[in-house]
Amino acid sequence: MAGILAVGELADGRPTRLTLELATLARQLAEAAGSTASVVLLGSGAGGAASEVAAHGPSVRAIESADDGAPVAMQVAPVVAALIAKDPPDLLLIGASPDGKDIAGLLVGLTDLPILVNGSGASWSDGKATVEMSTFGGRLVTQSQFTGDRGIVLV
Amino acid sequence: MHIVVLVKAVPIVGTERLGPDHRTQRNQLEANGNDEYTLEKALKLTEAHGGEVSLLSMGPASALDALRKALAMGATRAYQVQDDALAGSCIRGTVDVLVAALKKIEFDLLFVGADTSDGLGGVVAPAVAARLGMPYLSYASEIEPVDGGGVRVHRLSATGYDVLEAATPAVVMGTQVLGEPRYPSLRGIMQARSKETTTWSLADLDIDPASVGEAGATTRFLSSEAPPQRSGAQVVKGSADETATAIVDFLTARRLI
Given its phi and psi angles, is residue A113 left (phi above 0), alpha (psi -120 to 50 degrees) or beta?
A: beta
Beta strands at B77-81 and B52-58: parallel, antiparallel or unpaired: parallel
Run of H or E including B132: helix B124-132
- Shortest CA gap A70–chain B (Å): 8
Output the tens digit of pLDDT for each of chain B's 257 residues: 999 999 998 887 777 777 777 777 767 777 888 999 999 999 999 999 999 999 999 988 888 888 899 999 999 999 999 999 998 889 999 999 999 999 999 999 999 998 787 766 789 999 999 999 999 999 999 999 998 889 999 999 888 999 999 999 999 999 999 999 999 999 999 999 999 999 999 999 999 999 999 899 999 988 888 877 777 788 888 999 999 999 999 988 887 87
Taking CA–CA distances from B16, the nearest residue in chain A reads: A136
pTM: predicted TM-score of the whole model, two decimal places:
0.90
Strand, helix or coil for residue B205? coil
Taking CA–CA distances from B116, the nearest residue in chain A reads: A136
Interface of B with A in 110-169 (CB under 8 A): 117-131, 136-139, 155-156, 162, 164
Q: Point out which residues pair with B156 in neighbouring strands.
A: B161
The alpha-helical segments, DSSP class H, found in B156-254 are 186-192, 213-216, 240-253
Distance CA(B222)–CA(B38), nearest Å, equals: 34
- Decide if B71 contacts B78 (C-beta within 8 A): yes
pLDDT tens for residues A55-89?
998 999 999 888 777 888 999 999 999 999 999 99
Distance CA(B115)–CA(B123), nearest Å, equals: 8
Taking CA–CA distances from B214, the nearest residue in chain A reads: A147
- Decide if A48 contacts A10 (C-beta within 8 A): no
SS (H, E, C) B143-174: EEEECCCEEEEEEEECCEEEEEEEECCEEEEE
Q: What is the DSSP letter of A104?
A: H
Q: Establish how many alpha carbons lie within 13 A of residue A124's alpha carbon, considering only the half-sphere containing its beta carbon.
A: 19
- Shortest CA gap A81–chain B (Å): 11
pLDDT value of residue B84: 93
B82 burial via Cβ count (<10 Å: 0-12, 13-18, 19+): middle
Distance CA(A123)–CA(A134), nearest Å, equals: 15
Residues of chain A with pLDDT under 50: none
**Cβ neighbours, 10 Å, residue A92:** 26
Q: Given CB atoms, is B90 within the 8 Å cutoff of chain A?
A: yes
Taking CA–CA distances from B156, the nearest residue in chain A reads: A98
Q: At a CB cut-off of 8 Å and minimum separation 6, what does B122 contact?
A: A101, A105, A117, B114, B115, B173
pLDDT value of residue B243: 95
Q: Point out which residues pair with A6 in neighbouring strands.
A: A39, A93
Query: Among residues B134, B139, B143, which one has the least CA distance to residue B45?
Result: B143
**Cβ neighbours, 10 Å, residue B151:** 24
Distance CA(A5)–CA(A22), nearest Å, equals: 9
CB contact under 8 A, B162 and A71: yes
pLDDT value of residue B121: 79
pLDDT value of residue B125: 95
Instruction: Write b or e for each residue in B28-52: b if 16 or more Cβ atoms lie within 10 A of its Cβ, otherwise e.
Output: ebbbbbbbbbbbbbbbbbbeeeebe
Q: Given CB atoms, is A110 within the 8 Å cutoff of chain B?
A: yes
